[in-house]
C-alpha cells in the first residue's frame, strides 16, 4: 500500500509547467506584464513626508458630525432643484438641533490636521508608497482616510460659506478637488472606485460653492483647468495587468507553501482505515493541485487577465458610454472559474467582494463613466459661471461658451450628445447628463435620502443601488428658493409623521402577535402535566442535583433536580413591581460553572424567552435569589421557571440546559418599558413605554442623578404607546450635559380608572 501511495503522490506536472512557461514567454514578447517585479509603487522620502498628513483621518463616516446627523450636500427639493445648505440659518438634525455649532466646534478641534492636509493636497501630485511585491495582499491603508478627508473638506467648505469665510471655503474646495485630480491612483480596482466616490462628493461640494457669487474669473479658470487635466480612464488597463501578475504570484506561492496534509503512516491504515483513506485523499488532492492544477490555474489566469486588459484598452478608446457598454466584459464581466479547489482561488473570490460593494452594482467602468459625466458637468458649470461673470447672465445655449470659455460645446459622455442645458426663469439653469441608462428623463435627479429623513432605507429597499438610479439623470440642479425650501421642509415633516405613525402601527401589530404567542405559551405550560427532570443528568461524572446543592443551607438533605429548581416567592418591601424568588441552589457553584436565570413564558418548543430585567443574587444562606423587574415584561398571567445553564470542565463544548417546574404568577404592572426603544445620546433622549390599555394620560418627571428636577413631559396616547422625545433642554431652556438622568412615569388609564407611578429607564 505504501508503494501504491508513493506512486500516486509522486510529483510530475511537466506538461502543465511547460505550457505555463510558453504562455509567460509569449505574453512578455507581446508586451504584457506578468511579474510583480515589473511594478514599482515606491515613492521618495520627500513624497512620503508630504502626503503623510492625508492619512490622519482614519475614522469612518462623517467624523465631525454626531452619528446619524448626515449632511447631504445635494439634497433635492424637487425634480431638478436642490437646497443650498450653507444658506440655511439652522442646520437641523432629526431632533431639531442646530448642527452648525457642533460642526464648527469639531472642525476647530482638528484645525491643525486639516490645514496640514490642505497644504499637502495643494503642493503637488499625490502618490503613496506601497509594496507591489505583496501582490493581491498589498495593503491600502490610505483609502479610508482619503474618502473621509474628501467628506470633511466638503463639510468644512460649506461651514466656511455659512460663516462668510469665502477665502477659506475656496481653499477647502480646491484642496478637495486636488484630492481627485492630483491623486496618481494605484493599479488596483478599489482605489479607482474610491476616487470615483470622492469625485461624487466633490461634485456636490462644487455645486454648493458655485451658488455663492463673487468668485473671480481667475479662481474659476483655475478650477476649470483642474478638472480638464484629469483622466479617469487612463490607469484602468493597468489594474488588469497588476491583477494578472498578482494572481500568478499567488499560484507560485501556493506551490511553495508547506503542505497542510502530511504523509499518512501505514499503521494508521491498519488502526483507522476510513480516516486514513480520507486523509490520503485530501493529501493526494493537495499534491495534485500543487503538481498539476496550480500550473493550469496560473496559465489560465494569465490569459484571463490578458483578455481583461485588452478589453479595458478597447473600452477607454470609446467616445461615449453608449459605445463602451456594447463591448464585451464591460457591463457583464465573466468571473474567472478554476477547475480546481484551492486556497489561492478561494482568496481570489473573497477579494472580489470589496470591489462589488464599492461599485454598488454598477461595475468599475460604470462608476468610471459616472465620474467622467460629473467631470464634464463641472467643467461646463464653471464655464457658465465665468460667462455670467463676464456678461451678466447665463447664455441661452451652450454653444455660446465656445471659444471664449470652452474649446468645444460640452458633450455628455453617456450618449455623445451635447450636455442638456436650459436656463430657468429665476435667472439660474439646469444642466444634466442622461446617466448610465442613456435615456433623457428631462433632468430628473435621484430623490436621495434627505438629511432630515426619519428612517434609514435598507440596502434592498427602493432608493439604494442601481434601481434607485432608473428614470433619473445626473443633474447639476438649480438652487431652490426660500419658499421652495420651506415647502420641501413641510413635505418632509409630513412624510416623517406618516412614517412614525406607520412604525407605531406596525409595532403595535407585532406586539399584539407576540402577546398572543406569549399567552398561548403560558396556557400550554400551566395546562400540561409537568414531566420531572431525570435525576441522572450528569456533569463531569456527578449528578447535577449533587453539584448544584447548597451544602450550607439548613435542611440540606438530598433533593431531586426538580426540587432544586422549584421557585419560592420571597415577599419584600421593595418596589411592588419587583418580584424575588429563591431556589436552593448554591450561588457560588452555579456562577462558577454556568448561570441561573428566570425563564418567563418560555414555550417548550422555543428557547431564550426570559425576564428582560433580572439579576441573580446571593442570599445570606448561600442560595440563589432571582430578582425580576416586571415592568420590562407584559402585564398579566405568566409561567415562571428556574433555568440553569452549566458546562463541563472536561469538555467546555458540552452544555447542560435544565428548567424546573412552572410557577403561575400574575403581574399587575400597567406600564411596560422596552430598553430597545428607550435611547439617550448627544442628540436627545427617547422615553418609551407600552400601556396595558389603548387610552392613557401620562406625565414623566426627569431628575438628575442627585434628584434635582430637570423637566416634566406630559401627554396622551390613544394607541397604548408612549413615545416622547426630549431635546435635552430643561425647564429654563438650558441644555442638560450630564451623562445620565432619572425618570418617573405617572400613568392613568381612563377606561379602567387604574393609575400608577413607576421608575422608568
DSSP 8-state code for residue 290: I
C-alpha cell at 636: 398579566
Comparing CA positions, the residue from 241, 446, 469 lying closest to residue 369 is: 469
Write out pLDDT tens, residues 91-120. 876 555 678 988 898 898 889 999 999 999
* Ranges of the chain whose pLDDT falls below 70: 1-13, 59-70, 93-97, 259-280, 282, 343-361, 448-469, 538, 540, 553-556, 573-574, 604-608, 648-654
Q: How much is the pLDDT for 261?
A: 52
Q: How much is the pLDDT for 493?
A: 81
Three-class SS of residue 151? Answer: helix
Q: How much is the pLDDT for 428?
A: 96
CB atoms < 10 A from the CB of 552, how many? 11
Distance CA(591)–CA(576), nearest Å, equals 27
- 468 forms bridges with which residues in the sheet? none
Contact indicator for 63, 152 with CB cutoff of 8 Å: yes
Q: Where are the domains of the chain?
A: 531-667, 672-759
Decide whether 531-667 matches 672-759 in CATH topology: yes
Name the CATH topology of 672-759.
Immunoglobulin-like (2.60.40)
Distance CA(557)–CA(584), nearest Å, equals 11
Contacts of residue 406, defined as CB under 8 A and 6 or more positions apart, other chains included, come to 379, 380, 383
Contact indicator for 223, 382 with CB cutoff of 8 Å: yes
Q: How much is the pLDDT for 224?
A: 98
Instruction: Cis check for the bond before 403: say yes or no (omega within 30 of 0).
Output: yes
Distance CA(276)–CA(255), nearest Å, equals 24
Distance CA(198)–CA(190), nearest Å, equals 12
Task: Please state the φ and ψ torsions of residue 551, each to the nearest 5 degrees.
Answer: -65, -20
Distance CA(533)–CA(729), nearest Å, equals 56
Q: What is the CATH number of domain 531-667?
A: 2.60.40
Contacts of residue 338, defined as CB under 8 A and 6 or more positions apart, other chains included, come to 293, 297, 300, 345
Comparing CA positions, the residue from 9, 598, 586 lying closest to residue 262 is: 9
Amino acid at each position: 500500500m505504501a508503494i501504491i501511495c508513493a506512486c500516486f503522490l509522486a510529483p510530475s506536472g511537466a506538461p502543465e509547467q511547460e505550457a505555463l512557461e510558453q504562455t509567460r514567454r509569449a505574453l512578455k514578447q507581446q508586451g504584457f506584464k506578468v511579474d510583480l517585479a515589473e511594478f514599482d509603487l515606491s515613492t521618495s522620502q520627500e513624497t512620503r513626508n508630504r502626503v503623510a498628513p492625508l492619512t490622519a483621518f482614519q475614522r469612518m463616516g462623517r467624523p465631525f458630525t454626531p452619528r446619524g446627523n448626515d449632511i447631504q450636500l445635494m439634497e433635492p427639493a424637487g425634480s431638478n432643484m436642490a437646497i443650498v445648505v450653507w444658506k440655511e440659518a439652522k442646520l437641523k438634525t432629526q431632533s431639531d438641533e442646530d448642527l452648525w455649532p457642533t460642526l464648527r466646534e469639531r472642525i476647530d478641534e482638528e484645525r491643525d490636521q486639516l490645514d496640514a492636509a490642505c497644504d499637502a493636497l495643494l503642493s503637488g501630485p499625490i502618490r503613496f508608497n506601497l509594496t507591489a511585491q505583496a501582490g493581491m495582499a498589498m495593503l491600502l491603508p490610505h483609502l479610508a482616510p482619503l474618502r473621509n478627508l474628501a467628506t470633511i473638506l466638503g463639510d468644512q467648505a460649506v461651514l466656511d460659506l455659512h460663516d462668510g469665510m469665502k477665502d477659506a471655503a475656496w481653499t477647502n474646495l480646491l484642496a478637495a478637488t486636488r484630492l481627485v485630480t492630483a491623486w496618481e491612483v494605484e493599479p488596483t480596482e478599489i482605489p479607482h472606485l474610491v476616487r470615483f466616490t470622492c469625485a461624487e462628493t466633490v461634485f456636490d461640494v462644487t455645486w454648493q460653492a458655485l451658488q455663492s457669487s463673487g468668485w473671480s474669473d481667475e479662481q474659476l479658470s483655475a478650477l476649470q483647468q483642474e478638472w480638464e487635466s484629469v483622466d479617469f480612464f487612463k490607469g484602468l488597463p493597468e489594474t488588469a495587468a497588476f491583477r494578472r501578475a498578482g494572481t500568478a504570484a499567488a499560484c507560485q506561492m501556493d506551490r511553495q507553501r508547506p503542505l497542510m496534509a502530511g504523509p499518512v503512516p501505514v499503521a494508521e491504515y491498519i488502526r483507522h482505515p476510513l480516516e486514513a483513506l480520507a486523509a490520503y485523499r485530501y493529501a493526494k488532492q493537495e499534491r495534485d493541485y500543487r503538481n498539476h492544477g496550480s500550473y493550469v490555474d496560473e496559465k489560465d489566469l494569465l490569459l484571463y487577465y490578458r483578455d481583461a486588459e485588452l478589453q479595458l484598452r478597447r473600452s477607454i478608446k470609446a467616445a461615449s458610454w453608449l459605445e463602451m457598454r456594447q463591448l464585451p466584459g464591460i457591463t457583464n464581466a465573466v468571473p474567472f472559474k478554476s477547475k480546481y479547489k484551492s486556497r489561492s482561488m478561494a482568496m481570489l473570490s473573497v477579494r472580489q467582494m470589496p470591489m462589488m460593494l464599492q461599485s454598488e452594482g454598477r461595475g468599475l467602468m460604470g462608476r468610471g463613466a459616472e465620474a467622467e459625466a460629473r467631470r464634464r458637468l463641472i467643467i461646463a458649470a464653471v464655464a457658465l459661471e465665468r460667462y455670467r461673470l463676464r456678461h451678466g447672465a447665463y447664455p441661452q445655449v451652450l454653444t455660446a461658451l465656445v471659444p471664449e470659455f470652452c474649446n468645444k460645446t460640452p458633450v455628455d459622455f453617456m450618449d455623445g450628445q451635447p450636455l442638456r442645458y436650459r436656463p430657468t426663469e429665476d435667472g439660474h439653469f439646469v444642466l444634466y447628463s442622461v446617466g448610465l441608462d442613456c435615456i433623457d428623463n428631462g433632468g430628473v435627479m435621484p430623490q436621495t435620502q434627505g438629511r432630515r429623513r426619519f428612517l434609514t432605507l435598507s440596502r434592498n429597499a427602493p432608493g439604494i443601488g442601481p434601481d434607485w438610479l432608473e428614470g433619473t439623470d445626473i443633474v447639476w440642479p438649480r438652487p431652490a428658493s426660500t419658499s421652495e425650501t420651506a415647502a420641501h421642509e413641510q413635505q418632509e415633516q409630513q412624510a416623517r409623521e406618516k412614517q412614525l405613525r406607520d412604525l407605531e402601527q406596525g409595532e403595535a401589530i407585532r406586539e399584539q402577535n407576540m402577546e398572543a404567542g406569549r399567552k398561548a405559551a403560558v396556557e400550554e405550560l400551566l395546562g400540561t402535566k409537568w414531566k420531572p427532570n431525570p435525576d441522572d443528568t450528569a456533569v463531569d461524572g456527578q449528578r447535577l442535583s449533587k453539584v448544584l446543592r447548597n451544602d450550607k443551607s439548613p435542611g440540606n438533605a438530598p433533593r431531586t433536580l426538580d426540587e432544586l429548581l422549584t421557585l419560592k416567592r420571597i415577599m419584600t418591601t421593595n418596589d411592588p413591581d419587583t418580584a424575588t424568588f429563591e431556589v436552593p441552589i448554591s450561588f457560588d457553584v452555579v456562577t462558577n460553572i454556568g448561570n441561573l436565570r428566570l425563564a418567563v413564558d418560555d414555550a417548550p418548543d422555543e428557547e431564550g424567552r426570559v425576564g428582560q430585567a433580572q439579576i441573580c443574587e446571593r442570599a445570606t444562606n448561600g442560595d440563589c435569589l432571582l430578582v425580576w423587574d416586571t415592568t420590562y415584561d407584559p402585564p398579566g398571567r405568566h409561567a415562571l421557571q428556574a433555568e440553569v445553564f452549566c458546562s463541563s470542565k472536561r469538555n467546555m463544548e458540552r452544555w447542560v440546559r435544565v428548567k424546573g417546574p412552572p410557577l403561575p404568577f400574575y403581574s399587575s404592572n400597567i406600564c411596560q418599558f422596552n430598553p430597545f426603544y428607550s435611547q439617550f445620546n448627544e442628540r436627545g433622549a427617547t422615553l418609551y413605554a407600552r400601556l396595558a390599555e389603548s387610552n392613557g394620560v401620562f406625565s414623566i418627571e426627569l431628575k438628575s442623578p442627585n434628584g434635582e428636577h430637570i423637566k416634566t413631559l406630559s401627554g396622551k396616547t390613544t394607541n397604548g404607546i408612549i413615545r416622547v422625545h426630549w431635546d435635552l433642554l430643561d425647564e429654563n431652556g438650558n441644555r442638560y450635559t450630564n451623562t445620565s438622568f432619572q425618570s418617573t412615569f405617572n400613568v392613568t388609564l381612563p377606561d379602567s380608572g387604574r393609575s400608577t407611578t413607576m421608575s422608568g429607564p
